[in-house]
C-alpha cells in the first residue's frame, strides 16, 4: 500500500503538504512527529476499537439492498454508517482524535462544522472524555441547522458563530485555525475531514478506514470474496469516501467512485463540484483541487447539502482524480433529493442529503448484472427533515 499513501511530508502525488504559517508550525509538527507512534500503539488501538464497538455501535451492517439492486440491475450493498452513534461516520474520526488529544496532553478541543454533524460528533466525544469543547460554525449555517446547534449545546459545547466571509463552513474553518494559532499549547484541533495540513488528511483517513476494513470482512462473509466491483461515496472534503476507499486503493479492479455536489448544475455558478470546476491551489493548509477565481480567491461553493458545501477536496481525492484511480461524478440538488426519496421508498431508509448524492450517481453508471456495488451510506436523514419537507415532492 504505497502509491496512495502520503510521503513523509504529506504529499499524495502533487497534492497535500503543510502550507501553514509559522505560528501553527509547533502544533502541526508535534502531530506529524507523534501521530504514527500514538495511533500505532497497541493500547491506543485497543481503546479505539473498544469505543467503536461498544459506544459507536460498530461494526455497522453491510446490508444487501434487494429492491434498490433491482432498479440498478446489479447487487447493491449499503454500508450503514448512518447507524453509527450521532447518525453519521463522523464519529469514527472524533473518537480517534480525542484519544490522540488525550495522549498529547491537550485539555481543550476545537472543531469546525458545516451542517453540524462533525460538531455534534466532536461535542459528543468531548462530553465522553470530559474535555472543554468549542465549535466554530458559520453564522448562516447556525441559522440553517438550529437543531444541531442545540444538540451541541446540550452536550456541553460552546458554539461560536463565524461571522467572517460568507459565514459558512470555509469561514468556520478559518476561525478554528485562528483560534488554534492563538491557543497553541493546551488545545487540539479536531478537523472533521481529510483536509488541512499534513498529517490531518492521513490521520482522518486512517480513523475512517475502519469502514473499508469492515466492508472487506463483511463481503467475504456474505459473498465469499472481499472485493466489490464498485465503491461509491459522496465527497465534500471526502472523509467518508476516504474511509470507504482506503483498503481498496491498491486493488485496481475495484472502481472507486466519488459523488460531488453539482448544486444547481456544474455550470450554473452555484455548485460544489470541485473536480469539475477546481484547479490546484492552497487552502486550509494543503495543496489540492480548489474552486477559485483566476486571481486565486476561493469561490464560495453551493449545495443543498451543507456537508458537501466545501470549495476543495482532500488531497488524497485530488490525487485519485488526477491519477485516474478514482472517478468523480456529480449530482445536482434535484437528482440527490430524488435519490434520497427513492431510497426511502425502496428500502425504508431516509439518507442524509450528502449521502443521497452517492445514491444519485448510481443512475449515471452502467453496471453488469453480476457487478457488486457498495454504497457508503454515510449518514441518516434526520438532520435533513426540514430540507426534505421544504423540497416537498414525495
Q: Which of 120, 203, 283, 359 binds another protein (CB under 8 A)?
A: 283
* Annotated catalytic residue, options 209, 354, 378, 383: 378
Which residues, other chains included, contact 34 with Cβ-Cβ below 8 Å and sequence gap of 6+?
Answer: 103, 104
Q: Name which of 282 and 346 has its Cβ closer to another protein.
A: 282
In the complex, minimum distance from the CB of residue 275 to another protein, in angstroms, rounded to a whole number: 18
Active site residue 383: no
Q: Name which of 50 and 164 has its Cβ closer to another protein.
A: 164
In the complex, minimum distance from the CB of residue 279 to another protein, in angstroms, rounded to a whole number: 8
Q: Name which of 20 and 155 has its Cβ closer to another protein.
A: 20
221 close to 235: Cβ distance less than 8 angstroms: no
In the complex, minimum distance from the CB of residue 8 to another protein, in angstroms, rounded to a whole number: 11
Q: Name which of 146 and 279 has its Cβ closer to another protein.
A: 279
Binding string to another protein for residues 163 to 182, with x set by CB under 8 A, is what?
-xx----x---x--xx--xx
In the complex, minimum distance from the CB of residue 246 to another protein, in angstroms, rounded to a whole number: 26
In the complex, minimum distance from the CB of residue 7 to another protein, in angstroms, rounded to a whole number: 11
**Secondary structure of 140-173 in HEC code, one letter for each residue:** HHHHHCHHHHHHHHHCCCEEEEECCCCCCHHHHH
Q: Binders of another protein among 125-164, rule CB under 8 A?
A: 164
The CA distance from 236 to 151, in Å, is 23
* Annotated catalytic residue, options 81, 106, 112, 342: 112
Q: What grid cell was written down for 228?
A: 466489490
Cis upstream peptide for 215 (omega within 30°): no
SS3 183: coil
> Residues in contact with another protein, total (CB under 8 A)?
33
The CA distance from 147 to 337, in Å, is 21
Active site residue 90: yes
In the complex, minimum distance from the CB of residue 6 to another protein, in angstroms, rounded to a whole number: 14
Q: What grid cell was written down for 286?
A: 494543503
Q: Binders of another protein among 336-355, rule CB under 8 A?
A: none
Q: Which of 104, 129, 298, 346 binds another protein (CB under 8 A)?
A: 298
Which residues, other chains included, contact 267 with Cβ-Cβ below 8 Å and sequence gap of 6+?
Answer: none
Give the residue from 373, 386, 286, 382 showing the smallest Cα distance to 78: 373
CA atoms within 13 A on the CB side of 276: 22
Active site residue 338: no
Kindly state the helix (H) or strand (E) to which residue 176 belongs, with its residue range. helix 169-182
Q: Name which of 20 and 115 has its Cβ closer to another protein.
A: 20
Q: Name which of 20 and 360 has its Cβ closer to another protein.
A: 20
Q: Binders of another protein among 243-282, rule CB under 8 A?
A: 279-282
Q: Which of 3, 5, 7, 23 binds another protein (CB under 8 A)?
A: 23
C-alpha pair distances (Å), 69 with each of 244, 264, 368: 19, 28, 12
Q: Which of 5, 26, 220, 252 binds another protein (CB under 8 A)?
A: 26
The Cβ of residue 273 has, within 10 Å, a number of other Cβ atoms equal to 26
Give the residue from 130, 84, 98, 133 showing the smallest Cα distance to 113: 133
227 binds another protein (CB under 8 A): no
Q: Name which of 295 and 366 has its Cβ closer to another protein.
A: 295
The CA distance from 277 to 359, in Å, is 22
In the complex, minimum distance from the CB of residue 307 to another protein, in angstroms, rounded to a whole number: 19
* Annotated catalytic residue, options 90, 287, 338, 383: 90
SS3 16: strand
Q: Which residues bind another protein (CB under 8 A)?
A: 9, 17-23, 25-26, 164-165, 170, 174, 177-178, 181-182, 184, 279-285, 290, 292, 294-298
The catalytic residue positions are: 90, 112, 378
Amino acid at each position: 500500500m504505497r502509491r496512495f499513501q502520503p510521503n513523509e511530508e504529506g504529499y499524495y502525488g502533487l497534492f497535500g503538504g503543510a502550507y501553514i504559517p509559522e505560528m501553527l508550525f509547533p502544533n502541526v509538527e508535534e502531530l506529524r512527529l507523534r501521530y504514527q507512534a500514538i495511533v500505532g500503539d497497541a493500547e491506543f488501538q485497543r481503546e479505539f476499537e473498544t469505543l467503536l464497538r461498544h459506544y459507536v455501535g460498530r461494526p455497522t451492517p453491510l446490508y444487501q439492498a434487494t429492491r434498490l439492486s433491482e432498479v440498478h440491475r446489479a447487487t447493491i450493498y449499503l454500508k450503514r454508517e448512518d447507524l453509527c452513534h450521532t447518525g453519521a461516520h463522523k464519529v469514527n474520526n472524533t473518537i480517534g482524535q480525542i484519544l490522540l488529544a488525550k495522549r498529547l496532553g491537550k485539555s481543550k478541543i476545537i472543531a469546525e462544522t458545516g451542517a453540524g454533524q462533525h460538531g455534534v460528533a466532536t461535542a459528543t466525544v468531548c462530553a465522553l472524555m470530559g474535555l472543554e469543547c468549542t465549535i466554530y460554525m458559520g453564522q448562516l449555517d447556525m441559522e440553517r441547522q438550529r437543531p444541531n446547534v442545540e444538540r451541541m449545546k446540550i452536550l456541553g459545547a460552546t458554539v461560536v458563530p463565524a461571522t467572517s466571509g460568507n459565514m459558512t463552513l470555509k469561514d468556520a474553518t478559518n476561525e478554528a485555525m485562528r483560534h488554534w494559532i492563538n491557543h497553541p499549547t493546551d488545545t487540539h484541533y479536531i478537523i472533521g475531514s481529510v483536509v488541512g495540513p499534513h498529517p490531518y488528511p492521513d490521520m482522518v483517513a486512517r480513523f475512517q478506514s475502519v469502514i473499508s476494513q469492515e466492508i472487506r470482512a463483511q463481503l467475504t462473509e456474505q459473498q465469499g470474496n472481499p472485493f466489490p466491483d464498485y465503491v461509491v461515496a459522496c465527497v465534500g472534503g471526502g472523509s467518508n469516501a476516504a474511509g470507504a476507499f482506503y483498503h481498496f486503493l491498491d486493488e485496481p479492479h475495484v472502481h472507486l467512485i466519488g459523488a460531488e455536489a453539482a448544486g444547481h448544475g456544474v455550470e450554473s455558478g452555484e455548485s460544489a463540484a470541485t473536480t469539475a470546476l477546481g484547479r490546484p491551489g492552497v487552502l486550509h493548509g494543503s495543496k489540492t483541487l480548489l474552486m477559485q477565481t483566476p486571481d486565486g480567491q476561493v469561490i464560495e461553493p453551493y449545495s443543498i447539502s451543507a456537508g458537501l458545501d466545501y470549495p476543495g477536496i482532500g488531497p488524497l481525492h485530488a490525487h485519485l482524480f488526477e491519477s485516474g484511480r478514482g472517478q468523480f461524478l456529480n449530482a445536482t440538488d434535484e437528482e440527490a433529493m430524488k435519490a434520497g426519496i427513492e431510497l426511502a421508498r425502496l428500502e425504508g431508509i431516509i439518507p442524509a442529503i450528502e449521502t443521497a448524492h452517492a445514491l444519485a450517481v448510481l443512475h449515471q453508471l452502467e453496471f453488469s448484472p453480476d457487478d457488486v456495488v457498495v454504497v457508503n451510506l454515510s449518514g441518516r436523514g434526520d438532520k435533513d427533515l426540514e430540507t426534505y419537507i421544504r423540497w416537498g415532492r414525495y
